[in-house]
Chains A and B, each alone.
Chain A
Amino acid sequence: MYDRLLAVPVFLPIAGGAALLAMSGWIRRDKQERIMQWLVEALVLVNSLLMAWLIAGCGGVSGGRVLFRLYGQLTVMFRLDRMGSFFAGLVAFLWPLATLYAFEYMEHEERRPAFFAFYTISYGVTLGVALAGNLVTMYLFYEMLTFATFPLVMHPMTTEAARATRQYLYYSIGGAAFAFIGLVTVLSFSAVGTTEFVAGGMIDPAAAAEHKNLLLFVYVLAFFGFGVKAAVFPLHDWLPKAAVAPTPVTALLHAVAVVKSGAFAVLRFTYFSFGTELLRGTWAQWVAMAAALVTITYASTMAVKEVHFKRRLAYSTISNLSYILFGATMMSPLGLAAALIHLLAHAFMKISAFFCAGAVMHRTGKTYIYELDGMGYRMPVTFACFTISSLSLMGIPLFAGFISKWNLCEAALRLGGEMSGGAGGPVGRVLPYIGVAVILYSALMTGIYMLTVVVRAYFPGIIGKVKGSAAGEPEEEEASAGKPAAREASAGKPTARESVAGKSASAESSVNQDPSWRMLLPLVIFAVVIVAVGIHAGPVLRYLALIGGEAG
């Protein structure tokens, strides 16, 4: 029964979004719009609950069901397995919260009905990627995702946005072409005759032995093809540019849904189509791994150079996506589990960071980092959440990011141990160790580019003080800053002066610019999840170890 219902969460948002798009001309007045918003939220929430019920109902695994046949063996088929459940569950968790956030954020923007229509459609399409039971289906939804999301990038309708959109389309469609080569090759070398995902791969071993180098070449092509959405180095440029989109888009789509679909597709392709048996220890693995490592180094360095808040986060996303790809290219159970835990952790960290950036933009219009002096006191809840996500991104213990980085490094070292016997050739012997060093380098860079923001927000320093922020200052300076001399004379008791100082400080900091609950609720939930995963990651790790065990 469950497998029959699987198509519903995919097509319900698509249909809902299409309906909204059709009706968008009629939504003119505030009241209609409010109704529209609640309907959208209800739809998304119902869909998420349905998804949760499906996952829970069948324990994360269901039989596949062919929906329809395109031609021959090209079938559209949905199936739920552990990895799909994991990604679908993650997406279903995030989407209602992000939609809630978007309502407030989009207040200042035009063309809201169209925005929410495409936002909702993207939900269905992303679930389609997650639930796809074979490579064909995944490829279809992967392509659809490009077309469902480009209107969102174009949303501001500025020249910059148009350029970004064009680049996004070129890159994505171009990448999909390479992915298509992979699809065709898998189909023709498949041991079962279809492209259905099989844990551990489905390439016919006999044929593979014959055409090994061809297959590896195709793998590399497909890696970069699917890697476009995961922003692998030479093909990353669309992501920072796409930061022009409204923040809910950058946060949910360009930090989670779209880019994680890319990473997810790479994982599927590597572990469920090609299979690690074929790839482990070959040059294709090292090419892919090297690409991931170069991306990590590149993006974390560029993030330090970037001063635009959202673009800096976008560069950080590029580097973190390649953490996932680094895990993916380890071709080992541990690597897969580590990639997935980073997929989870990064989703929460980055969406939270972007939402904070969005909250700042929404409330104050500040978009550059040097404008953020002292913001920590004006938006306390927002910046508390931002601090948590920054520390987590750095990989500080107690937060989710630490767990994922630990697992990644552990997997890399294990791989290095396995390869040290000479199985991976001279490159494979060294690359995993370099990978660990790169991750630590990137953690350092993350420290620089995230903590500078936090430090600015909380320790505005001398500049902020002149402006009169709530920075703590010794009584002496306060007194000499032009307090009436009469009070000086009478102020015999330090406590009296101190309370005055305290009051003035609190009056200054009481200009609370935190956004309303619709923005704060998602932020707080994400922060709580980050800490919860950071402190007690056991259940998640066990579940992921199962995935790793079956597919690695």
Chain B
Amino acid sequence: MNRVWMDLVTPGFCGMGMHLQLDGFRLVYCAVAVLMWTVSGIFSREYMAHYANRRRYYIFFWATFAATVGVFLSANLFTTFIFFEIMSFTSYVWVAFDERSASLKAAETYLAVAVIGGMVMLMGLFLLYDLFGTLEIDAVSVLADAVMNGSRQAGNLPESVWTGKTSGGFFATAKAQLYTAGALMLFGFGAKAGCFPLHIWLPKAHPEAPAPASALLSGILTKTGVFGIIVVSCGLFGSDHSWGLLIAALGLVTMFVGALLAVFSINLKRTLACSSISQIGFILTGIGMACLLRSIGEGNSLAVRGAFLHMVNHSLFKLVLFLCAGAVYMNLHQLDLNEIRGFGRHKPALMFAFLMGALGIGGIPLWNGYVSKTLIHESIVEYMEAVGGPWIWHLAEWVFLFTGGMTVAYMLKLFLAVFVEKNTDPEKQRRYDEMCSGSVRKRMNGGSGETAARKGSEAAHSYMRPETTAALVAAAAILPVLGLTAHQTMDRIADLGQEFFHVQGHTHQVAYLSLGNLKGGAISICIGVILYLAVIRGLLTEKDGAGNRRYVDRWPAWLDLENLVYRPVLQVALPAVGGAVFGFLDRYLVPASTAAFLAVSTFVGRVLDSAVDGVVRFARLTTHKQVPAEREPHDSNLIAHVVGGAADAVAAFLNGLPWNRQKAAAQKSAAARQGAGLEPDGQLQRPARESVTDRLVRREERFRDNMRVIQESFSYGLMLVCVGLCVTLIYLVWGFLGR
């Protein structure tokens, strides 16, 4: 049974608690993580020496280490998710590190995939939690088994799973919900693993990140995704046939697409990145076969062990290979195969490391990759035999072998280009050769001297520092050692890890170097060599003017899933739809409805208002047609004339009085002092008084006009009614009192 060395529960962490566990699988992967971070840490010391903000790199380097180990240790999907998200964000900084526009774009892709993947996974976790009320990996897999098999005997299954879930809710059955949850989680984990439709970030992000970071991204960060897929596939759907088919199909497609991209790529790190996709496909195929074999009741230990060992192996290959690429980049700041061609000549340490990685990943017998690939291949054959061998499984086997061949082909291409062929530019080749050892002197001359001088000064201590070389070679040496002592080392590793996959049936020792197994390897190698000669030599290179073969990128530029599908959908279609809908709402609908409301209410108000006026106006137009009234002459304003004349007389009399006459004289002299040009001040100098008669006449005119308007208006009518009412009231009261 699964042996657990450590079990750590921290309740309340982030609301739901944290559960870490150390069993065989996790132990192996923590060891791999420690190894990888140590080696790439040593490598980083040299690689990052010339970057100004190394501190940022190292902070995120170790933060990601912690998060990655957290993912592998987690025994609870909630904990997994927490560390997974932290890891996504801290590793983002690696990709964006260079801050060139290409890096930022790659980082954007990486982040987008990580965030979307994380969100989708979270949705899956919600559904799972809703279904089972727990996210403990062990508990969930027991419960899921019960749901999948439709057996109620699992005692601790909450009754809610059965009640209410079958009466036609959003999910018709608990099984449907479980499938949905699984698919969503598969999406999330698959995005990180680089599974087929979501592999887009790998070829972009890996070439841009610093090499030690690429090694980790490819070697182990993708494995956190695989970890999740294992939990989902083997834990939740371990015995489900259709799920196994899905995973196996995804794996086969991924492995093929990745290898195809790698064959076409002419960039060192990009090739390796595409190769990662392909190798993840191998692992997924193994996991899928494990599910399939278990679903038909066969022992699935071959598939499980193959998948697990290939995970470990791939981590180790990619560590070595990416660090070799880093050694190239650190010296040349170039990754294009035509530029770096011939760099590896006369550099035995680098060549050894790269060769070990290439042989390992190519599945050459005696190296570790062969062992794991053989196991996965055997599992396909085993399943094919068990189900009676329909043609589709023959096809699957051949896809597998052919992809193995492509792996050999593209590694051969890389190896020959970097380590065997000479650069087409002899000057470059000479410089590359000079970097090989400490015996080279600085060269200071004009022309290409500037770069040469700088490279020369670095080459004074060779292309790699001794400690870096040592670390790289040691890491590379692990691969053949594992391969050679497969039964002593790799089998034991597999024994440790296989329980995590819910392995079924018992393990039998596989003679890796038996004839039957060697045959598969040999077929792949043959395909690889033929592919290399026919396709890569023949189709993917061309002769330039000087008769030298150059590698050309024949992959059609438009055929890029990201630019073809995802970016248009996410950046054009979604914003176009969402933005248009909401922009429309915001710009037109809301103001329009406000305006419409205002217009309607204004209209209603106006109508009510003018309904009354309208009556008046109608009357004025018809029955009360206005006859222009005769202007009464001024003379007829008798009262005004009498009163006004009297007032004028009084005023004249008052002004004539002696004391007032003095005042008037003083006012006059003050006005004279002020000067004629100045604006007379109102307080000091009043304007000459007009006749009171005139004012009264004007006022009377205005009063009459007003009265006329009032009389014509509706309110006047109302007022009259009121007055009438009052009079009536008074009359009634009077009558009442008088009685």
Chain A interface residues (CB < 8 Å from chain B)? 234, 237, 297-298, 301-302, 304-305, 391, 394, 396-398, 402-403, 406-407, 409-410, 413-414, 416-422, 429-430, 432-433, 436-437, 440, 443-444, 447, 451, 455, 459-462, 464-465, 470-476, 478-480, 485, 488-489, 491-492, 494, 497-498, 501-502, 505, 534-538, 541
Across the interface, do A398 and B14 meet the contact criterion of CB distance under 8 Å?
yes
The 10 A-B residue pairs whose C-beta atoms are closest, nearest first, are: A420-B169, A475-B50, A472-B53, A397-B82, A413-B130, A538-B12, A505-B52, A472-B52, A440-B119, A403-B15
Contact A429 B13 (CB under 8 A): no
Question: Chain B's nearest CB lies how many Å from the CB of A419?
Answer: 7
A305 pairs with B583, CB closer than 8 A: yes
Contacts A421-B164, A501-B52: A459 and B99 contacting too (C-beta < 8 A)? yes
In terms of DSSP, what is the predominant structure of the interface of chain A? helix
In the assembled complex, 9 residue pairs joining A and B whose CB atoms fall closer than 8 Å, in A order, are A301-B582, A410-B130, A416-B170, A455-B104, A461-B99, A461-B101, A473-B99, A535-B13, A536-B13
Asked whether, in the complex, the Cβ of B164 is within 8 Å of the Cβ of A420, the reply is: yes
Q: Do residues B126 and A436 form an inter-chain contact, with CB atoms below 8 A?
A: yes
**Additional A-B contact list (7), CB under 8 Å, known A301-B582, A394-B115, A440-B119:** A298-B582, A403-B15, A419-B169, A420-B169, A444-B116, A471-B99, A488-B454
The residue that B104 contacts in the complex, of A414, A416, A459, A536, with Cβ under 8 A, is: A459
User: A437 near B96 (CB under 8 angstroms)?
Assistant: no
A509 to chain B, nearest CB (A): 9
Residues of chain B with a CB closer than 8 A to A409's CB: 122, 126
Cβ–Cβ contact A418 & B164, under 8 A: yes
Residues in B neighbouring A298, C-beta threshold 8 A: 582, 585-586
Closest to B586 in A: A302
Neighbouring A residues of B435 by C-beta, 8 Å: none
Known pairs A444-B116, A459-B99, A471-B99; A403 contacts B169 (CB<8 A): no
| CA of A39 to CA of B464, assembled, Å | 66
Q: A304-B575, A396-B85, A398-B86 are in contact. Are A440 and B164 (CB under 8 A)?
A: no
Contact of B50 among A297, A421, A498, A537 (CB under 8 A): A498
A502-B460 in contact (CB<8A) = no
A437, B122: Cα distance in complex, Å: 10
Specify which chain A residues have a CB less than 8 angstroms from the CB of B51 in the assembled complex.
472-475
Q: A440-B119, A443-B119 are in contact. Are A488 and B15 (CB under 8 A)?
A: no
Chain B residues positioned under 8 Å from A419 (CB to CB): 169
CB A513 to nearest CB in B, in angstroms, measures: 19
Whether the Cβ atoms of A470 and B115 lie closer than 8 Å is: no
Distance between A394 CB and nearest chain B CB, rounded to angstroms: 8
Given A407-B15, A494-B50, are A397 and B85 neighbors across the interface (CB < 8 Å)? yes
CA distance A407 to B52 in the complex (A): 43
CB distance from A221 to the nearest CB of B (A): 16
A396 & B123 in contact (Cβ 8 Å cutoff):
no
Give, as a whole number of angstroms, the nearest-CB distance from B670 to chain A: 40
List B contacts of A497 (CB < 8 A). 50
Does B230 sit within 8 A of A, measured CB to CB? no
* A contact residues around B53 at 8 Å (CB): 470-472, 505
Residue among B16, B86, B458 with most chain A CB within 10 A? B16
Q: Which residues of B in the span 379-434 have a Cβ within 8 Å of any Cβ on A?
A: none
B123's contact among A414, A437, A488, A535, by CB below 8 Å, is which?
A437
Complex Cα distance, B96 from A535, in Å, reads 28
Nearest CB in chain B: distance from A15 CB, A: 38
Asked whether, in the complex, the Cβ of A420 is within 8 Å of the Cβ of B170, the reply is yes
- Interface pair B81/A397, CB less than 8 Å apart: yes
What mask results when residues 113 to 129 of chain B are scored 1 for a CB within 8 Å of chain A, else 0? Answer: 00110011011001101
**In the bound complex, what is the Cα–Cα distance between A105 and B164 (angstroms)?**
56
Determine the distance from Cα of A58 to Cα of B123 in the docked complex, in whole angstroms: 41
How distant is the Cα of A22 from the Cα of B560 in the complex, in angstroms? 69
CB distance A305 to B579 under 8 Å?
A: yes
The answer, among B56, B115, B127, B168, for a CB contact under 8 Å with A472, is B56
Min CB distance A534 to B, Å, is 6
The answer for the CA separation of A407 and B98 in the assembled complex, in Å, is 38
Given contacts A234-B590, A461-B101, contact A476 B333 (CB under 8 A): yes
In the bound complex, residues from chain A placing their C-beta under 8 Å from that of B107 are: 455, 459
Q: How far is the CA of A443 from the CA of B126 in the complex (A)?
A: 15
Please judge, given known A-B contacts A304-B575, A418-B164, A421-B164, whether A474 and B457 are in contact too, CB under 8 Å.
Answer: no
Number of B residues near A (Cβ < 8 Å) is: 64
B122 x A440 contact (CB < 8 A): yes
> Are A465 and B99 closer than 8 Å at their CB atoms?
yes
Residues of B within 8 A of A418 (CB): 164
Q: Is B453 part of the contact surface with A, judged by Cβ < 8 Å?
A: yes
Residues of A within 8 A of B586 (CB): 237, 298, 302
Tell me whether B52 and A541 are in contact (CB under 8 A): no
Given the complex of chains A and B, what is the CA–CA distance between A169 and B96 in angstroms? 46
Q: Which residues of B contact A488 (CB under 8 A)?
A: 450, 453-454
A451 partner residues in chain B, CB cutoff 8 A: 111, 115
Known A437-B123, A440-B119; judge A417-B165 contact (CB<8 A).
Answer: yes
* B56 contact set on A, CB distance < 8 A: 472
B563 within 8 A of A: no
B122: chain A residues within 8 A (beta carbon):
409, 440, 443
Alpha-carbon distance between A298 and B584 when the two chains are bound, in angstroms: 11
Whether A444 lies near B115 (C-beta < 8 A) is yes
Q: In the bound complex, what is the Cα–Cα distance between A370 and B229 (angstroms)?
A: 39
Chain A residues with CB below 8 A from B460, complex form:
492
Interface residues of B in 571-620 (CB under 8 A from A): 575, 578-579, 582-583, 585-586, 590, 593
Distance A459 CA – B100 CA, assembled complex (angstroms): 9
How far, in angstroms, from A302 to B96 measured CA to CA in the complex?
Answer: 27
A396 touching B579 by the CB < 8 A rule? no
Q: Per a CB cutoff under 8 Å, which of B101, B127, B170, B590 touches A237?
A: B590
Tell whether, in the assembled complex, residue B457 and residue A402 are in contact, meaning their CB atoms are under 8 Å apart: no
A417 CA / B132 CA spacing, docked (Å)? 12
Q: Are the C-beta atoms of B123 and A494 separated by less than 8 Å? A: no
Q: How far is the CA of A302 from the CA of B582 in the complex (A)?
A: 7
Task: Pick the contact of B168: A413, A422, A443, A498 (CB < 8 A).
Answer: A422
How far is it, in angstroms, between the C-alpha of A471 and the C-alpha of B100 when the chains are bound? 10
**Most chain-A CB neighbours within 10 Å: which of B13, B111, B116?**
B13
Q: A417 and B115 in contact (CB under 8 A), knowing A406-B15, A436-B126, A474-B333?
A: no
| A397 to B122 Cα, complex, angstroms | 11
Task: Choose from A234, A417, A436, A494 the contact partner of B164 (Cβ within 8 Å).
Answer: A417
Interfacial chain B residues near A437, Cβ < 8 Å = 123
- Is B179 on the interface with A (CB-CB < 8 A)? no
Q: Is B621 an interface residue (CB 8 A)?
A: no
In the complex, B49 has a CB within 8 A of chain A: yes
Indicate if the CB atoms of B15 and A420 lie closer than 8 Å: no
Cross-chain contact A410 with B129 (CB below 8 angstroms):
yes
Across-interface contacts of B130 in A (CB, < 8 A):
410, 413-414, 416-417
Q: Does B444 contact A (CB under 8 A)?
A: yes
From A396, A432, A462, give the contact of B99 (CB < 8 A). A462
Distance of A485 Cα from B454 Cα, bound (Å):
11
Output the least CB separation between B281 and chain A (Å). 27
Complexed CA–CA distance, A222 and B127 (Å): 33
Question: What's the Cα separation between A406 and B333 when bound, in Å?
Answer: 45
Contact pattern, B 47-70, Cβ under 8 Å of A = 1, otherwise 0: 001111110110000000000000
**A357: min CB distance to chain B, Å:** 22
Which residues of A sit under 8 angstroms from B685, Cβ to Cβ? none
In the assembled complex, the CB of A454 is this many whole angstroms from the nearest CB of chain B, namely 10
In the complex, whether B89 has a CB less than 8 A from a CB of chain A is yes
For the complex, give the distance between the alpha carbons of A418 and B167 in Å.
11
CB distance from B8 to the nearest CB of A (A): 16
Q: Do the beta carbons of A541 and B582 come within 8 Å of each other?
A: no
Q: Does B160 contact A (CB under 8 A)?
A: yes
**Residues on A with beta carbons closer than 8 Å to the beta carbon of B578:** 297, 301
**Contact, CB under 8 Å: A473 / B52:** yes
**A-contacting residues, B330-353, CB 8 Å:** 333
Bound Cα distance A440, B165 (Å): 23
In the complex, which of the residues A396, A397, A489 contacts B444, with contact meaning CB atoms closer than 8 Å?
A: A489
Q: Which residues of A contact B444 (CB under 8 A)?
A: 489
Complex CA gap A444/B52 in Å reads 33
